[in-house]
Amino acid sequence: MADSKRGYRLCGDNIDKIVRARYMRKEKRNSSLHYFHSYAVQNRIDTSTLSEVAPDHASSTKLDVATTIIPSHSDDAALKSNIAILISRVNVEYLDYFKLTFDGVVNWHIKHQYYKEMSSKSVVVSILVYNVLVSMLMHTF
């Protein structure tokens, strides 16, 4: 698929650090550093065809809403299959008997519609790390 169709997601995380002065003085005090790490991750699948409009449940009957929320028999079967895979992973990873006996048999990836695309490594684009001065922010708002 063309990279231009996939788009990017903006991600971010706060990074806070306190630097304590060994000996406090008037000119040498504790300092509190606040950074915001931001980056973009390229979507692995094309989401441009998905609707951004929330479904209108006001016009739906309670039965219609209930049937879309309550899992069907096929949903139950898929859930049981996925839970069995997760339990087998935990058993093989943490219990020695299962690790020795079933290590080569465990399914480490749950197959789904976008399995191939999600198996690839994420394309991460670094944006910047911003130094956020709290006192400046307080005066601007």
pLDDT, tens only, 16-63: 899 998 888 888 888 888 888 788 888 888 877 888 887 776 677 777
CA 81 – CA 76 distance, rounded (Å): 9
At residue 135 the predicted structure's pLDDT band, cuts being 50, 70 and 90, is very low
Place of tokens 């006996």: 101
Q: Where are the domains of the chain?
A: 1-45+122-141, 71-113
For residue range 92-117, what is the model confidence (pLDDT) as tens digits?
999 999 999 988 888 888 888 888 88
At residue 131 the predicted structure's pLDDT band, cuts being 50, 70 and 90, is low
Q: Give the Cα-Cα-Cα angle 76, 77, 78 (nearest 5 degrees).
A: 90
CA 78 – CA 71 distance, rounded (Å): 10
CA 61 – CA 74 distance, rounded (Å): 23
Among 41, 51, 39, 38, smallest CA distance to 9 is for: 41
In the chain, pLDDT over 90 holds for what percent of residues? 21
Q: Do 69 and 91 meet the contact criterion of CB atoms below 8 Å apart?
A: no
Q: What is the mean pLDDT of the chain?
A: 81
Q: Do 129 and 15 meet the contact criterion of CB atoms below 8 Å apart?
A: yes
